[in-house]
Amino acid sequence: MRRYARISQDRVVEFFETDGDITQMFPPSLIWVEITGNTQIQQGWVATKTDGVWTFAAYVPPPPTEQELREQAELQKWQLLNVASGWLLLNSLQFKADTGVATPEDETLLLAHKQYCIAVSDIDKQSGYPVTIDWPVVPY
């Protein structure tokens, strides 16, 4: 039994095993490369043909661009602020403070919440942003 990898756009996209003549089984437009004995190759790997010899390597995605890192950070920031807003609504600390019924513990927690929200909002002011971000820790 021989094992083959189908190549499309310089990637391994499929495997097939047969004892038959693979060139007779599929249209000639499909690229099949025999990989019998090589069990390491995985779908998604990069396939390169140089001087008639195929080589395979695990795909390593390129590092994100600075713009992609900024977009990821903004998304994370808004997700954290949405969770924080929901938490504040459920715990009514601001309402307690506004109406004068907050305990000292409530006021301390409200202050910590506000400081957390400010820190999350200001992540873009950190020196390593957007490559390195020191995300604040939720105080509750």
Q: For residues 120 and 89, state if they share a domain.
A: yes
pLDDT of residue 88: 95
Please check whether residue 20 lies inside any domain of the structure. yes
Residue 100 sits in which domain range?
66-125
Q: For residues 107 and 79, state if they share a domain.
A: yes
Residue 54 is inside which H or E element, if any?
A: strand 53-57
Please check whether residue 53 lies inside any domain of the structure. yes
Q: For residues 49 and 73, state if they share a domain.
A: no
Q: State mean pLDDT over 26-46.
A: 96
**For residues 119 and 125, is the Cβ–Cβ distance under 8 A?**
no
Torsion angle, alpha carbons of 67, 73, 74, 76, to 10:
150
Q: For residues 75 and 43, state if they share a domain.
A: no
Q: State mean pLDDT over 2-14.
A: 97
Domain count of the fold of the chain: 2
Taking each helix axis from N to C terminus, what angle separates 66-91 and 104-121, rounded to the nearest 10 degrees? 160
Q: State mean pLDDT over 23-43.
A: 95
Average model confidence (pLDDT) across the chain:
96
